[in-house]
Structures are given as C-alpha cells and as structure tokens.
Structure 1
C-alpha cells in the first residue's frame, strides 16, 4: 500500500511510541506534541482514521488512542527497515553469542534463544585423555583456539596409564586436523588399528561420542521476562525445538528477519514476535540468534543493535 508522506510520518510516530517497552495506546495529542511533527491534534486524528481504515491501526476502545495491528507491524517492518541487509553473514565467536544474549535480555527485558555452534563441524587440533574418576576417562577435543569439548567415556577393563596414553595417541591420529564428524567416521573405519586393550569398548565409546557431538544445543536467557509481560496460559516451549521451527520458517533467509504473531507456534499467546538472524562460520551456516519479545518491546533499538553488529563485522 502507498501512504502519503504525512500519514507515513504519523504512522511511524505511532509505532515508535507504542514500541517503547510499555505498549500503551497512542493518543493523537501525544503525537502532535512530538518534536518535528508541526501538525495539530485534529490533523493527527484524521490521519489515524485513514490508517485505521487501511487496517494498520485499531482502537481497543473508544477514546483510547490507537495501537498497531499485525498488518501494521508487517508494513512497518517491511517499509521502514532494510532488514535483509542487516547483519548479513554474521560470524560471531561463541563467547560473543552468549554475551550478546545476556546483554540484550537485560537491556530490553526480552528473551533470547540462541543455537550454539554445531560442534560436529569444528576442527580438532589435539586430543587429551584424562583419568577422571574411578569409572570414567575424560576426553578433551581441543581446537586451535584452545577451546575444548569435554566428554566422559567409560573406562575399559584395563585402564592403566599406559593404556590411556596409547588410546590418546590413537585418538590424535584419528581426529587431528579433522572435523569432529569426520573423526567419528574415522574411529569406525580405523577401529582395527586401535590399541588392543581398547577394542572391546571402542563401539561403546564411538556411540557415546556420536551422541554427545551430534546433539543440538542452545541457550535461553530471560524467559522470565516473557511471563511477566504477556498473558500466556501455558508455558512456552523455547529451546532447540523452537529454533528448529524458526529455521524451517526462515530457511535460506540471510540478514534480520521478523516472525509476527500468526507465524509463531504459541497458539494461546498473541502478543509476541520473534526477531531472528542467522550466523555463520567461514560463510557456512551454523544456527540462529532469536529474540522473543512482546510487540511493545523496543523494536527499533533492538534492530539498531544488529545494525551495529553488521557494521562492525564489515
């Protein structure tokens, strides 16, 4: 749809005033007092009436001011923001993902759900096998940055230090300079070359490693903010399954995307939206960073956060 410049300016003002963390209906007098508006309340009311007729705003009850409709949110986000151009091919470190999730959650009182990097695609630099306790060895799969994935496996019948050192040497041969997934394949293919005392346990260890390395993982921060701000009768299922849902909805979409209420799996909660951006490693897709928030959240400020991320990455 096409709005005249004045209606666009008034519509933008309504959206900014509504999406301020409070979500109160916006009155014409409030807009008329905005800096740079230079219109009277009557003019604003007429514009609001036209916007309501277009289906972008509605009045919850008489003389209550206006609030945006779902169509209004869709129009605002598509016409006023270049979302696909924001934070394209974003390549954060895992520590940055966690720090950003906590920071955004605290600043804007929103929930962040982040898929952690898929460990199966990370490159192994060296492997260490440590004597963890009476029944387990601890395997450390370490990348070049010194970060490790730590996995406990059951000790074999002969778990002497000599056997442990032999097994660690063999694992370094198998995994060194390989991705974790390729290392698992090599464990199976090279099983006959493993230390003899480890043969009986090798199948079990391969299965344990595969289950650990192949599992999806996520962090959820600030879920309590949602339950304080929106009326949901049931708990929201936010985690890996939610990320899978978002990935299906936004497959192949780079940059920032927004899912509005009717696109979400929260059937009894019509006050939420999701802001999502994919992230990459060497231009290979890893997972998504999602913000689940009320539609009254500070949407513009959150989008600006990702604009800064995109500009700093470039």
Structure 2
C-alpha cells in the first residue's frame, strides 16, 4: 500500500500518539496541534477518514478519535521500522540479558521473557561423584570456570567407594569437553561401557539427569504489569513453552521481529503484541529475548532500546 506523504505523516503521528502507554483513541484536534504538523483539524479528519477506509484505523465510537487496527500495526512495523536490520547477531553476556529485562520492564511497565539455555549448552570440564548421604550420590558437573550443576541420584545396590570411583571415571569419559545435552546423549549411547554394578540404575539416572539438565530455562519479569493493563480472565502461560512457540513462528529470522495478536497463543486476549530478538554466543543461536506488552505501550521507545544494543555491539 502506498500512502501520500501527508497521510503517511498523519498515520505515523496517530501511531506514536496512541502508543504512549495510555492507548486512548486519537482525535484529529490532538494531531493538528502536534509540533511540525502545520495542518488544520479538517485536513487531519479527512486524512483519518482515508486511513480508515483502507483499513489502517478505525473509530471505536461515533465522533470518537481513531485507533490503529491490527493491519495498521502490521503496516507501521513494515513501513516505518527496518526491524530485520536492528541488532543482528546480538551476543550479550547473560548478566546483560537479565539487566535489560529488568530495565525494560521497570521503565515501560512491560513483561520480558528471556530464554536461558545455558544449562544444556554448558561445557563440562570434569565430573565428580560424592557420597552425599545414605541413599544418594551427589554428581558435580563442573565447567572450566569452576561453576557446577549439582544433581542427586539414587545409589545403586552396591554403592562402595570402588564402584563410585569407577562410575565417576566413566562419567568423565562421557562428559569431558562435551555440552551437557551432548553428554546426556553419550550416556545413552555408551551405556554398555558403564560399570556393571551401575547398569540397573543407569536408565533411571539418565532419565533424571535429562529432566533436570536437558531442558531450557527462562526468566520472566514484569508479568504483573500485563494483568494490570489488559482485560484477560485467564493467566498467560509465559515461559519456556511460550519461547518455543515464538521460535517456531520466527525460525531463521534475525534482528527484531514483531508478532501481532493473530500470531500469538493468547486466545483469550487480543490486546498484546510481542517484540522478539534472538541472541547468540560464538555466533551460535542460543534463545530469544521477548517483550510482551499491550499495543498501547511505548513501542517506539522499546525498539529504540534495541537500536542502542545494536550501536553498543558495533
């Protein structure tokens, strides 16, 4: 769709005015008074009528101001933002991810959901098996920085120190220089080489380790802001399953992307939009950083934050 320059200017002004955190219908008089418009209210009303006719705006009530349609939001993102060019191959430290999530949430009253796949992608340097108590061994999966993931597993029938040392040696062979998820696959593939006294328990241990270490994690901040600002009777399932949904929708898309209402899994709520950005480590995809917010949120400012990320990376 091609708008004439005047209609495009007025449409952009309507979007910026609507997306200011309040989400109120935008009257022509307000647009006419904006700095740099230099048009009268009648000119703005005529332009708004044309924008409504082509489906970009609508009027919720007679003689009320205009509100963007879903199509209007899609057009705005497509024509006014070079989203795919913003923050390509962003490679933040984990602390930066967490700080940004909290910062955006507090500044703009939005929800942030961030995938943290460090558990499955952590590379193991060595493994230790400790005698924890009368029923459990404690497995330490330690990376080069000395940080570890600690997992308790049930002892086998023969839990002598000799068997424990043999099992620790085998685990080091399996996990050494591997990521946790690769180590789990190797445990299954190399099960017949494990100490014989451990064979009966190995399937159970592999299953327990897989459940505790083989899945991604996430942080969610600011979810309470959504429930204060939107009309939604059911709680929203925001977490790893939501990130998986976004990944499926935006597979292979780099830079900033936006998912509008019809592309979201929140069937009971049509007021939300998602701004999503993939991040990488050593140029390998890790997960996504997502901002979930009402359509009335200050979207331009949020996208500007990601432009600042792009600048800081260059």
TM-score, normalized by the shorter chain, greater than 0.5: yes
Distance 2:270 2:189 in 1: 52
TM-aligned CA deviation for residue 164 of structure 1: 4.0
The 5 A counterparts of 1:129-140 are: 129-140=129-140
> Residue 58 of structure 1 aligns with which residue?
58
SS in 2 for 1:181: helix
> Residue 6 of structure 1 aligns with which residue?
6
Deviations 1:189-248 (A, max 9, x none): 544554555444333222221222222322222222111111112222222222222222
Contact 1:256 1:276 in 2 (8 A): yes
- Which range moved further: 83-92 or 179-188? 179-188
Pairwise CA RMSD: 2.2
Contact 2:247 2:288 in 1 (8 A): yes
The 5 A counterparts of 1:95-244 are: 95-117=95-117, 119-159=119-159, 163-191=163-191, 194-195=194-195, 197-244=197-244
Distance 1:221 1:26 in 2: 30
> Residue 77 of structure 1 aligns with which residue?
77
TM-aligned CA deviation for residue 48 of structure 1: 1.5
TM-aligned CA deviation for residue 133 of structure 1: 4.1
Tell me how many residue pairs correspond in the alignment.
314
Distance 1:223 1:95 in 2: 20
Distance 1:43 1:221 in 2: 43
> Residue 290 of structure 1 aligns with which residue?
290
Contact 1:94 1:117 in 2 (8 A): no
| Cα distance change, pair 189–253 in 1 and its aligned pair in 2 (3 A) | closer
TM-aligned CA deviation for residue 174 of structure 1: 2.3
SS in 2 for 1:149: strand
| Cα distance change, pair 188–242 in 1 and its aligned pair in 2 (3 A) | closer
Deviations 1:42-83 (A, max 9, x none): 222222222112211111112321111111111111100000
- Which range moved further: 199-208 or 109-118? 199-208
Distance 1:161 1:102 in 2: 47
> Residue 309 of structure 2 aligns with which residue?
309
SS in 2 for 1:302: helix
Contact 2:184 2:214 in 1 (8 A): no
SS in 2 for 1:11: helix
SS in 2 for 1:112: strand
Contact 2:120 2:180 in 1 (8 A): yes
TM-aligned CA deviation for residue 6 of structure 1: 1.9
Distance 1:46 1:60 in 2: 17
- Which range moved further: 17-26 or 217-226? 217-226
Stretches of structure 2 that go unaligned for 5 or more consecutive residues are none
| Cα distance change, pair 34–148 in 1 and its aligned pair in 2 (3 A) | farther
Distance 2:188 2:11 in 1: 62
SS in 1 for 2:151: strand
TM-aligned CA deviation for residue 99 of structure 1: 2.4
> Residue 263 of structure 1 aligns with which residue?
263
Contact 2:119 2:217 in 1 (8 A): no
Stretches of structure 1 that go unaligned for 5 or more consecutive residues are none
Distance 1:145 1:9 in 2: 54
